Amino acid sequence: RSVNIVAFGNERDGFSEDNQQPSLIWSYLGRSALISQIDSSLSASHVGNPVFTEYQACVFGNVRLVVHDCPVWDIFDSDWYTSCRLIGGADIIVIKYSVNDKTSFQELKDSYVPMVKKALNHCSVPVIISAIGARKNGVPCTCPLCTSDRRSCVTTSEGVQLAKELGATYLELHTLNDFYIQKYFGGVLEYFMIQTLNQKSSEKMKKRKKTQKCRRVQPPQLEQPEKMPILKGEASHYNADLHNLLCCCQCADVAFYPEDLSTVVEAHKIILCSVSHLFMLLFGVKSPSDAHDASVVQLAQSLFAVQPGDPFPSSPQGVSPCVPPVRVVVKDSVFCSCLPDILHFIYSGAFQWERLEEDIRKKLKDPDKTEHVLEKVKCILKTPGKLNTVKDCKSHQIKRLYNTSLRLFFNTPVLADVIFKIQGATVPAHRAVLVARCEVMAAMFNGNYLEANSIQVPVYGVSKDTFLSFLEYLYTDSCCPASILQAMSLLICAEMYQVMRLQHICELYIITQLQSMPSRELASTSLSIVSLLKKAKFHNSDCLSTWLLHFIATNYLIFSQKPEFQELSVEERNFVEMHRWPSNLYLKQLADYRNYIHSQKCHCTVM
């Protein structure tokens, strides 16, 4: 017997100094008298942080307890399939939040609660919502990248309302002491554990009684179909792609110089503007009249100077002669000496703040100068109109920027330096993003090809909608196909441009959709699985083609009645017949059983 618990959310105030405080789950496991033999392990890392921690223990003596503690809600954005699998296998769900982190609560309510509802899919899984911490007087946010005001705490009524939306049990834990952990939270959790074990025991008894009804002549046992091949998702290398763009200096369109023009540091407008309103002002994306914060305008004017005219001596290489790089003079010599480190921080996703502090501290070896440079960086990255009294800036407080901020420049002419012509329409794009995210386009724009010096690039073989979905993935590292056919079209486009991770995402989407399709819908659908199989083979999607063959074999009775079944090659037909389910042996045994039952029927002795 076992109980599976999944916990989501971070109970710690993200701006608290006490980062060693144990989590709610770990505190309960460590203090409860009912728990024994605790073991823990971390999942695979995602952007440097573990997605979840898995605890295994024994409860009530011999019941196996498995707990997955997911402190970061990003798992729903980065790995929807894993999050659905965790929720689907959960007997109890715990949602945690800090009452002093209003912004995280609002994000939970607006973005992630709908996802949890969708994943639950009307399942009757008990949910416990735990509001943790004692409410404090609000203080202004101290993060330079924060876009919201954290002055107010999460009220009890807001927590109760959230619990009503999910049909959950609401608890307030003012502190993680023995009373709140063992008697309050532990009492509710152990109640649901007992309910879960009772329900499982009841279902087991029903199955046992059902099997004992008839012991005379048993029907043939239908074996389980062969296990489908498992497709594993590929980890994202989004930040690494953009960081490599800075290292290789391809398509650089900005050159930073000190006032004596002695050195040059190359960069890209699109990346800089995606993380800073100051750079938007500097490169003309926004005008000073659009700025809501005069300090940003003043900092831009005091720190940088854009220089028109011919390129400086030793101008950066790799830029098309017809589009010279924008030359920017950095007026602050100390800041300019640290600019390479600052750019590495930005291009790596702008979440490794401690590493940036350490690099600048080692380079300058002067606390005052170090603080001076870091304050400049905070001012550059802050949102206009927000306070910037930053005293501490932790990596876990700064979210990744690119997957949302680069979206602002997707399919817009702002800063665009290439235009794709497809099906009579035009689609603007940015070479820097394309080169960083796609090796085929990197070769196309930097090699001896016509596209290297062309503004307009024709695209053939894909539709406009498919190509836009492909570009959206390059800009945002995410894609959401609307149908199986659209996913297959996107897979073909990904194979054409050799973007393997997008190809795997499309494969997983197609497999997930087909697996969730009921047999009746599978029998009546006009979607040709054989056609999908042939496309997958033609476009080198070996994992998907192998899975589709197993899928046809597993649903043999449905597909063998369809005309498309005759389109299978001899080799494919032999594979399906060999792995078909149910097998010919089972069908023969079933026919013999039916004949036996028919022959044993009692006839009326009077007649």
**What is the reported pLDDT for 425?**
95
Strand partners, 426: 421
Question: pLDDT-derived band of residue 319, with 50, 70 and 90 as boundaries?
Answer: very low
Q: Is residue 392 over pLDDT 50?
A: no
Q: What are the φ/ψ torsions at residue 534 (nearest 5 degrees)? A: -70, -35
| Structural domain includes residue 438 | no
Asked whether the beta carbons of 3 and 158 are under 8 A apart, the reply is no
Query: Is 464 within the bounds of a domain?
Result: no
- Residues 544 and 533: their CA atoms lie apart, in Å, by 8
Same structural domain, 267 and 165 = no
Within-domain flag for 230? no
In terms of domains, do 181 and 283 share one? no
Same domain, 198 and 262: no
Percent of the chain with pLDDT over 70: 81
pLDDT bracket for residue 314 (50, 70, 90): very low
Q: Rounded to whole angstroms, how far apart are CA atoms 287 and 304?
A: 16
Q: Are residues 156 and 272 in the same domain?
A: no
Question: How many Å apart are CA 408 and CA 280, to the nearest integer?
Answer: 12
529-538 and 542-554 are packed helices; what angle lies between their axes, rounded to 10 degrees?
A: 160
How many folded domains does the chain comprise? 3
Q: Say which residues have a Cβ less than 8 Å from residue 280's Cβ, sequence separation at least 6.
A: 273, 286
For the stretch 351-389, pLDDT in tens is 678 888 999 999 999 999 999 999 999 888 876 544 443
**483-495: per-residue pLDDT in tens?**
999 999 999 999 9
Amino acid code (one letter) for 186: G
pLDDT on residue 230: 64
DSSP helix/strand/coil, 540: coil
Query: Is the same domain home to 27 and 171?
Result: yes
Q: Are residues 190 and 293 in the same domain?
A: no
CATH classification of the domain holding 25: 3.40.50.300
CATH number, domain with residue 282 = 3.30.710
What is the arithmetic mean of pLDDT over 224-250? Answer: 79
Peptide bond into 582 cis (omega under 30): yes
CB count in 10 Å sphere of residue 391: 6
Q: How confident is the model at residue 593 (pLDDT cuts 50, 70, 90)?
A: confident
Same-domain check for residues 188 and 259? no
Q: Is residue 415 part of a domain?
A: no
- pLDDT over 90 (residue 341): yes
CA distance 290 to 305: 19
- The answer to whether residue 604 scores a pLDDT higher than 80 is no
Give the start-end residues of each E strand in 308-461: 326-330, 418-422, 425-429, 456-458
Res 393: pLDDT:
47
Q: What is the pTM of this model?
A: 0.60
Q: pLDDT band for 606, please (50, 70, 90 cuts).
A: very low
| Residue 593 burial (10 A CB sphere; 0-12, 13-18, 19+) | middle
Residue 485 lies in a domain: no
What angle (nearest 5°) sits at the alpha carbon of residue 244, between those of residues 377 and 472? 90
Q: Which tens digits make up the pLDDT trace of 67-122?
A: 888 888 777 777 777 778 888 788 888 988 888 888 888 888 888 888 888 877 76
Which of residues 406 and 308 earns the better pLDDT score?
A: 406
Walk across the sheet containing 254-258 and list its strands: 265-267, 254-258, 326-330, 304-307
**Distance between CA atoms of 561 and 92, rounded to whole angstroms?**
43
d(CA 132, CA 10): 9
Both 178 and 294 in one domain: the answer is: no
Q: pLDDT for 141-168, tens place per residue?
A: 445 444 444 457 888 899 999 888 888 8
Torsion angle (degrees, nearest 10) of CA 549, 552, 556, 559: -130
State residue 598's pLDDT score.
Answer: 80
Averaged pLDDT, 520-549 = 93
Say whether both 6 and 64 belong to one domain.
yes
pLDDT of 143: 52
Most confident of 7-16, 171-180, 224-233: 171-180
pLDDT confidence tier of residue 511, bands split at 50, 70 and 90: very high
Tell me, letter by letter, the H, E, C secondary structure of 7-56: EECCCCCCCCCCCCCCCHHHHHHHHCCCEEEEEEEECCEECCEECCEEEE
pLDDT of residue 121: 72
The closest alpha carbon to 15, from 144, 175, 156, belongs to 144
Identify whether residues 22 and 119 lie together within a single domain: yes
The Cα–Cα gap between 391 and 400 comes to 20
Mean pLDDT rounded to a whole number for the chain: 81
Sign of CA dihedral 425, 428, 431, 434: negative
360 and 275, same domain (yes or no):
yes
Is residue 133 within 8 Å of 98, Cβ to Cβ? yes
Provide the residue range defining the domain that includes 342.
Answer: 249-309+323-381
In the chain, DSSP finds a helix count (H) and a strand count (E) of 28, 16
Residues 35 and 159 occupy one common structural domain: yes
Q: Does position 215 have pLDDT exceeding 60, yes or no?
A: no
Residue 522, pLDDT above cutoff 80? yes
Local confidence band at 411 (pLDDT 50, 70, 90 cut-offs): very high
Token pair, residue 599, equals 């022959």
Query: Is residue 394 very low, low, confident or very high in pLDDT (cuts 50, 70, 90)?
Result: very low
Beta bridge partners of 96: 130
pLDDT tier at 297, thresholds 50, 70, 90 = confident
566-579 pLDDT, tens digit each: 999 999 999 999 88
One-letter amino acid at 585 equals L
Residue 191 lies in a domain: yes
Q: Is 80 exceeded by the pLDDT of residue 458?
A: yes
